A and B are shown apart, each in its own frame.
Chain A
Amino acid sequence: MAVAAAAGAAAGVAAVAEAAALGVGIGWRPELDLTIERSLDVDFVEVIADYLDAKDLPTSLTVLRSRGVPVVPHSIGLSLGSAEQPDRRRLRRLGALAEVLDAPVVSDHLCFTRAGGFEAGHLLPLPLTRDALDVVVENIRIAQDQLPVPLAVENIAALIDWPESVIPEHAFLAEVLERTDALLLLDVENLYANWRNFGRDPLEVLKCLPHERVAYVHVAGGVMDRGLWRDTHAHPVPDEVWDLLAEVGDVPGAMLERDAAYPSNQALRDELDRIRATIGVTHA
């Protein structure tokens, strides 16, 4: 395990260097395949790994890979924060996808999506406790040992908050990264959501996280619903999230997430251009 951990740390550092070439990207979705392929000028794409078969990739992804566009598999189903250990079959599938896409990094969330055999189908927050911290650290190490490329973990947006939580979110996340050498997929809209929903100061969170471990950044929109911010990926990026992105500074890459209510190609181009201008990423 010690050797594997050391190898994982080295791989993580290498991944940061590799990720320096990511640039500005977008979440690849079947509804956007031709738009991305023909009309958007992106440096990389991220794909939802759980919906793909490494042996039967969509044509659009094959075309993008043939052009040298990096493809990052993003999982929504490892459930790294579950009390159970991560499912080996899911890890093998994610690893196979990373290999066939020659991906520099893979990612998933700091959350749980299943418990006691029940698949929630949603990213649920962890209780910010010592128990949960120790479990998620061990689960991430198990995942890292099984994956062929470095793993980045993403901070999530939450609606509900556990009354049992005793560790500040930024301290929880920072300790996870420190103990696992995992990379960080920083979602600035999720920081905004947790500020709106729980009053967690996003600037304080940014100050406490290890900037050098950021693999790339998610940028998205959401909506207020009965006094709470919902992370929908179906609305324009709000001004406050653009402001937060500007606070992040130089990062290896940043990308737009849009999952529904797809706007015009020009509206997508405008948001991508604004990401490029905001974080100062040069065209890879």
Chain B
Amino acid sequence: MASTEARARLAAAQRRLVEALVSGDPEGTGMDPVAFEIQSALLEHRRRHP
């Protein structure tokens, strides 16, 4: 069973990543900036062309 705390920690991490991807700012994610830029652009493209 996943604990409530595990779900809360995962929720916070996933929310932070998605917010960063939507903003296009990789600062603080620790991720490769080029990969982040491509991923962020793909998300934005999907948002504009659902």
| Chain A residues, CB < 8 A from B43 | 120-122
Do B2 and A137 touch (CB < 8 A)? Answer: yes
A contact residues around B32 at 8 Å (CB): 160-161
Question: Could you tell me which residues of chain A, from 121 to 165, have a CB within 8 Å of some CB in chain B?
Answer: 121-122, 124, 127, 129-132, 134-135, 137-138, 159-164
- Chain B residue total in the interface (Cβ 8 A): 30
The answer to whether B36 and A160 touch across the interface, beta carbons within 8 angstroms, is yes
Q: Which of A29-37, A168-176, A210-218, A221-229 is the contact stretch?
A: A221-229
Other-chain contact of A134, B1, B11, B38 (Cβ < 8 Å): B1
> Total contacts A to B, CB within 8 angstroms?
88
Contact between chains at B14 and A112 (CB < 8 Å): yes
Q: Which secondary structure characterizes the binding site on chain B? A: helix
The minimal Cβ–Cβ distance linking B24 to chain A, given in whole angstroms, is 13
Known contacts A115-B15, A122-B43; A197/B7 CB under 8 A: no
How many A residues face the partner with a CB closer than 8 A? 32
Given contacts A83-B14, A116-B18, A121-B43, A135 and B36 within 8 Å (CB-CB): no
Among B1-25, those with CB < 8 Å from A are 1-3, 6-11, 13-15, 17-18, 21-22
**CB–CB B10/A131 < 8 A:** yes
CB A57 to nearest CB in B, in angstroms, measures 22
Tell yes or no: A82 within 8 A of B by CB. Answer: yes
Those 8 A-B pairs whose CB atoms lie nearest each other, nearest first:
A83-B11, A121-B46, A163-B30, A115-B14, A134-B2, A116-B15, A131-B6, A83-B10
